[in-house]
Structure 1
Amino acid sequence: MNYVSCAEGSEHKILVRKGFDPLCRKLAGIKHPVGLNCVEIIARLPLRVKLAILLNSLKRLERPRFKIPIGIITSGKDDIDLGGHGCEKLEVTLNPEDASEIIKSLLPLIVALPLIEPLRVLKFIIVGAAGSIVNLAVAQLIFHQLTGIGVADLVKNPFSSFAGFESSVLFNFILHEKWTFADASIDRRFKNVIARLVKYHGASIASFSSQILLATTLPILLGMVFWLAQLTGIIVGFALNFILGYMYTWSRSRL
């Protein structure tokens, strides 16, 4: 694609088309190598900045039959005359906070929010994985205890599964409050924390239902060992728990 990407300094990626020598020298303090079509200086950029630039570029490409290169500048402070270089100006930003606003303006908020918070999403997944271990350990412990006193499978399996589920819900909720969403702009008053706990239980109903259903029916119908049936329920419910827990319990007020 014909474009020139202009950054504020050599620490960021700069792509300059051949023939833009003055622009290249101004941005990076280097001369355009003879015989090369472009100069690239590659450095790390935050994911949301890359996404904001990509979305702006895709939005620009929605206009068909453009005949001149796209000039991308990174802030309103740039005094580069892209028009003088035969470029059409497309303004983006290298500021992560501004990039977040661009992403939220171009995508539905329910999609944009996880994209601009990759670290928070990673934390959510880590907590969920740890909670799954708690879930499985507690369920298996209760299962063995009930097996020892001769409780029937139709009672023992769902009760053990429920104990594992409730333990993991409380475990996950505490870690999400204290770690995953510790820096989020949410109301920390006691009544709101309790409200989120109630919401999180509600959001976990789908996960709970899948665990109870699979932990109870798979051993009976397929002869599957209990721990594997419980693990299957955990995996199936995890995706649902992420969507409902992340977006509904802690992020609804931020949409």
Structure 2
Amino acid sequence: MKNNRAILLVVLLALSFLPVSLFASEAGNATLGGVNGYLVIPSAEPVYSSKDTSVSTGYSAIITSGTFANIPYLQVGFSNTYELGLAADITENTTDLLLNVKWRLSKNGNTSMAIGAVAQAINVGENTQFAAQVYFASTFNSSFIDWPSKTTILLGYTFDDNLNTDINFGMGFEIPFFKDTFNDKLKALIDFGNVSYSVSPSAGNAENRGMINVGLRLVPIEFLKSVYISADIRALDLFDDSGRALSLGATISFRP
């Protein structure tokens, strides 16, 4: 374990010396459900795109007691305004499909507002159930304690008969992680609320008391012309013993 930590530290320090020009002008990674945002909370910003359509594909793994889940996903961005995504949450016994759409209604300076929806087919092929989440999100620059933060507030509604409450609330914070050391290429993530990426998540079920998640994010790096790679490490549902989990994710994006 100590050797693994030492290797991780060396890799992070090496990344800190990469030229700033290698990084995308707008960072952005997917949540576990394949929506551009934090850990499970979407942001108001769609996946980055210019006048040309961008395409991103990624994979997340969830590791917890008794469960290993695979979540591949695909994102498409249009005109830096619209986002369409598809993810599959796959465990040994079940497969869930998540289809998301997002529309940024406005962008004024550093403040964006958007509406979105996630349509879900749970346990596909065996007694399939359907659910949906709709939300309004606002993303803006603020501070978390004394650190500058890209902050999101989310309000939404879940269409599912099995939940205790249908009203959703969440907040997300993206904070530079040791900015001077890592040259603003590594972000700390915190999000919390009473909603997860799915009504039936493989880990981090916020149904009863809500949950808090933390993580680290490597912002997108251009390693070929118009091709970017990014990565996340996540700790989910920290205060709930039954839902606690570790997640790793990576994304490759084509941004012409």
For the aligned pair, the TM-score class normalised by the smaller chain equals under 0.3
Structure in which a larger fraction of residues adopt helix: 1
Structure in which a larger fraction of residues adopt strand: 2
Q: Over alpha carbons, which structure has the higher Rg?
A: 1
Using CA pairs below 8 Å that are at least 6 residues apart, which structure has the higher relative contact order?
2
TM-score (norm 1): 0.22
